[in-house]
Every structure is written in C-alpha cells, then in structure tokens.
Structure 1
Amino acid sequence: MADSKTALAGDRLLAYATLAPSAFLLLLLAGAPTITVFFTSMQDVGMGDTSGPFVGLENFAWALTEPTFLTALWNTFVWVFGSVALEMLLGLGLALLLNKSFQFRGAARAVILAPYLVPTVVAVLTWRYMLHDIVGIINATLTGIGLISQPLLWLNSQSLAMVSVIMVGVWKFFPFAVIAILGILQSIPQEQYEAAKIDGASSFQQFWRITLPYVMPVFLLTTLLRTIWSFNKFEIIYLMTGGGPLDATTTLPVLVYLKAFSDFEFGRAAAIAIITLAILCVLLAIYFFFIKRAEARQ
C-alpha cells in the first residue's frame, strides 16, 4: 500500500515537472502582457510615454460613459453573433450535405473549404473590389437581373456596412465549422442509423435522436471558439471599412487600435482591451456552466 502511494506521488511529481516549463512559458507569453496592459489602463499614457500619472479607474469610467465605446460594444455583439450564427448554421447544413454520398463530392468539399485557405488580406481586398459601388461585380449583377435600380453603397452606407462585413466574415470562416462538424459526422456508427430505419424512424427522427447528440458537443465548442476569435477579429473590419462610416462598423478591437495609434491615448486603449477580456471571460463562464449542467443531466 505504501509502495503504491509512493509511486503515485512520484508520478504526480513527474507530471508537474513535465508541465512546469510549458506553464512558465505560457505565463510569460500571456500573463506578462496582460498584466502590463492592466497597469497601463490605470495610467494616463500618451505618445512617447512608457508610463504616466496614475489615474485609477478613471479610464474605465470614461469608457463606460463614452458614446463611441458603447457604440463599439453594440457593434461588436452584432458582428459576433451575426457572423457566428450564420457560420454555424451554414456549416452544419453543408457538413450534413457533404456527409452524404454523391457524384463530385470531393470537388464540392474542395470548393467549400477554399475560402478558409485564402489569406485574409487577399480575401478582403477581393471583396472590397466586388462590393465597390461603381465597378463592383455584385452591384453590376444585381442591376443586370433587375433586383436593384441603382448601385448600393455596400461599404459607405451605415445600414449596409455591417451587413457587408458580416457577409465577408461568414464567407471566410464558415469552412471551419464545416470541417469540425463533418469530422464528427463521419465518426457516427452507421449501425445506429440502420437500426433506426428498421424501427421505422423518419429522417428527422434520425437526425434528432442520433446525429444531433453526437454533433452538439463539437457544435458548441466550435461556436465558443468562433465567438472568441470573432470578438477579437480586427483585420477584416479594419481593412474593409476602417470602422466607418460614422463608426457603423467600429468594434472593440478596432476602437482599441484607433485609440492607441490614432489618438495615442494608450491608457484608454488599454482599458477598452481589459473590458473586452472581461466580457470574454464572462462568455467562457457561461459556456462552461451550461456544459457542466448538460453533463450532470446525462
């Protein structure tokens, strides 16, 4: 008995020793910058300064009462939930389609997954040209088939700019959802579907009782990852619209960039970054709460 306890303690010590270098490196690469940003958020740091007067929570108070910040916060939620919802629904539908046997399925997979392989800058510049109000192919096509009588200002209209950005984001990243969901679909034992058919289950019942329970954990995890990544997404929005017109597409990451490198208000930019981190932590907590609740029910 004593020998087994000693062996177990030795295994734990070995595990801790093995993980220690990676944990230290992670703490150094992730923790140190976060702590630096946190301290910067409590200072009045301007251009050319490495530090500034301590102002406490003044930068946070400014952010929570600043109309530009509140607009960026709302835009961030619209961008995140709009793009992620469409990505996941489109990804689920196409994954179910690609999981079936049909002619040219390999070619269809390649076409569907291609947008994810295109560099973001290349994709954005291509879409900017396509959405151009004068020479863009989208306006030309819509005008040619009679759906619109005059060109739409896709990137210069407050009502259409966010729609355009979400459309590009969905096009670029829905293949990630397809890959994740298709992988789990192909691991479902076919015997379960065969048994369900023998019992007289309809296609919807097979999906509801067999497919969905298998897919749901991966679906939720993919949704969480895409939510985090979309919340922090900067380049698509900035390259597409620069946050305009009139802050119509300014999200929190874009506002952080503008405050830091256009207004040179690094303290306020850091405060916005910390608030963004806090929001993501809340979303993570909500996700894990529902996951544990679902596991407890099972």
Structure 2
Amino acid sequence: MQRKKMNIWPYLLITPAVLIIIAVVLFPALNAVLMSFQSYDLRRPSDIGFVGLTNYIDVLQDKLFWASLWRTILWVVFGVGFQFVFGFILANLLNKGFHGRGVVRAVSLIPWVTPGVLIGLMWRWIYDGSYGVLNDLLMKVALISAPVPFLAQESTVMPSVILTIIWQGIPFFALMLLAGLQGVPGELYEAADIDGATGFQKLFRITIPAIKNTIFVTTLLRIIWVANSVDVIFNMTGGGPAYASQTLSVYVFNKANALNLGYSSTMSLLLTFLLLLVAIPYLKSMFANQEA
C-alpha cells in the first residue's frame, strides 16, 4: 500500500506567523520570567545576576505593591462595571430603528478609536484646576464655588481617572453587545408581547440569556485590557499625587522606566497570574454554559 505523502504547504504558510508570535510574544515572556529571578537593574549593570526568589519576596513585602493592587481592583471593578452598564444601554438604543442611526453608531465609536495617550492629555485638560472645562461648567451652574484640582488631590484623582476609562470603554461594549443583540430573533419578542411580558421580563428571560456568551467574552477582554492599561493614567497623573492613582500596571511601568527590570518583571508576572485566576474560572463557566 502506497504511503500518502504529507502536504507541507499548510505548515510553510503558517511559519511566518508562528515566527512572529515567537519573536514578539513567547521570547519576551520567557525573558521576563528569567529576569524576575535576577537582580536586573540597568543602573548597576555590574550587579546583574541570579537572586532566586528574592524579587518575589521583596514584592510581597512591598506596601506600595499591595496599595497598587487594591487600586487596580477598584480600577477594574468600577471601570469595567460601568462600561458594561452604559455600553449595554447604548447597544439597546443603537439597536432600535431611527433616522441617522448609522451616523450615531459611527460617532459613538470616537472614544474607543481615540489613542489612549490623546485621551489622557484631553481629560487632563478637562480636569485642570486652573483652566479646565469641568471646573468652568460646575462653577457656572453653582455646584462649586472655587476650582477643584481633581487630579492634584488624593480624594478625587482615582474617581477622575476611573470616569475617563469608563468614557473610553463604553463604545467597545456597545459595539460587541450590539452585534449580539442583532442576532436575537425578533419572533421571541413578538411571542413575549403576545404573552403580556413586561420589559424587564423580556430583558432577563430573552435578551441577556441570548447574548450571555458575548457578555462573558467581552467582559473578560475588558478586564484584561483595563487591568493592563497604562497610557491613560500615566498621561493624566503619572500615578500621583503621592501614588494615589498608581495601579499595578502603572507601578510596573514606573519601575521599568527607572530601569529596575527585575523588579518590574516580577510584578508583571504576578499581575499575569492574578488575571489568569480571573480568566480560567470565567472561561470554564462560559464553556459549561455552552455544553449545557
């Protein structure tokens, strides 16, 4: 019996993509793992060497690390939570038929397609205590009597940057959930109307169950992206004042910017591990729902 020749063309076609993934993803990841076990401070290149678990012990004893982790939790929970709520509302509005719907859909994407650096600079100007638009509006409607330095005081800086990330992420949820809503058969709502179902009954018994997989995936992606987000906060506050807006990803960036690559690699790996703890149960729940 003649042996069937193996077709190598599929493997040759995917080789460039595999090599790129190895170069830009796998190699840097392995290098970060290696550096986390080293004293890797470029300010003292002569001291670079293997230190075992010293970096991990130092990070876990670092009060600033735990404070940054707590702010990251607040950043993700409130940021992603309100993004979902307002994005879901916007998706339902955009799913309705009205004149100029295409234009509204296009305009609503502006916050999402705007670069994070530009968003940070724009909102820093909006919040500015001397000439910011927000202070001007609040004083004109008599809600405040004097300008508030939103980004310069610890009590207001974190809510301010969270509001910014909410504004940025709403269009992403709206776009993804809108795609899911358009796949829900209209006959289901017609049957519900005939049965006398209320708006809340249709929402929780038809709409949400029909797009739950879209909700799962979209929320998971945003949790990962927001937790790793650096550009918005860094360009608005740099993590200040007095580290009051420094999330874990910003702390990692600041340490790397200070050339302490071993310490920053350690924190980035711990952040990756924490995100895996969130992602794995989330994905298991999603696949279990699909099998059911």
Asked if TM exceeds 0.5, the reply is yes
Matching of residue 292 in structure 1 with residue 265 in structure 2 = no
The amino acid across from 1:60 in the alignment is Y
CA–CA distance in structure 2, aligned partners of residues 24 and 127 of structure 1 = 39
Partner of 2:22: 27
Among candidates 34, 41, 47, match of residue 42 of structure 2: 47
Superposed CA RMSD in Å reads: 2.4
Partner of 2:62: 66
Superposition deviation, residue 24 in structure 1:
4.8
CA–CA distance in structure 1, aligned partners of residues 19 and 238 of structure 2 = 37
Alignment of 1:1-298 (within 5 A): 22-47=17-42, 49=45, 52-262=48-258, 264-296=259-291, 298=292
Query: Which sections of structure 2, spanning at least 5 residues, go unmatched?
Result: none
CA–CA distance in structure 2, aligned partners of residues 93 and 165 of structure 1 = 22
CA–CA distance in structure 2, aligned partners of residues 278 and 50 of structure 1 = 30
| TM-score of the superposed pair, with normalisation by structure 1 | 0.89
Superposition deviation, residue 16 in structure 1:
6.7
Superposition deviation, residue 10 in structure 1:
6.7
Closer, same or farther: CA 18–118 of 1 in aligned 2, 3 Å:
closer
Q: Is the contact made by 1:43 and 1:51 (CA closer than 8 Å) also made in structure 2? A: no
The amino acid across from 1:37 in the alignment is A
Q: Is the contact made by 1:95 and 1:182 (CA closer than 8 Å) also made in structure 2? A: yes
Question: What is the percent sequence identity of the aligned residues?
Answer: 34
CA–CA distance in structure 2, aligned partners of residues 50 and 270 of structure 1 = 19
Closer, same or farther: CA 50–215 of 1 in aligned 2, 3 Å:
farther
Superposition deviation, residue 105 in structure 1:
2.8
CA–CA distance in structure 2, aligned partners of residues 114 and 219 of structure 1 = 22
CA–CA distance in structure 2, aligned partners of residues 228 and 249 of structure 1 = 18
Superposition deviation, residue 221 in structure 1:
0.6
Q: Is the contact made by 1:130 and 1:138 (CA closer than 8 Å) also made in structure 2? A: yes
CA–CA distance in structure 2, aligned partners of residues 271 and 230 of structure 1 = 20
Query: Which sections of structure 1, spanning at least 5 residues, go unmatched?
Result: none
Q: Is the contact made by 1:40 and 1:51 (CA closer than 8 Å) also made in structure 2? A: no
- Determine helix, strand or coil for the equivalent of 2:179: helix
CA–CA distance in structure 2, aligned partners of residues 82 and 201 of structure 1 = 32
Aligned residues: 291
CA–CA distance in structure 2, aligned partners of residues 24 and 188 of structure 1 = 40
CA–CA distance in structure 2, aligned partners of residues 25 and 117 of structure 1 = 25
CA–CA distance in structure 2, aligned partners of residues 93 and 205 of structure 1 = 16
Closer, same or farther: CA 72–19 of 1 in aligned 2, 3 Å:
same
Closer, same or farther: CA 184–50 of 1 in aligned 2, 3 Å:
farther
CA–CA distance in structure 1, aligned partners of residues 76 and 10 of structure 2 = 38
Please identify runs of 4+ aligned residues in structure 1 that moved more than 3 A. Answer: 13-25
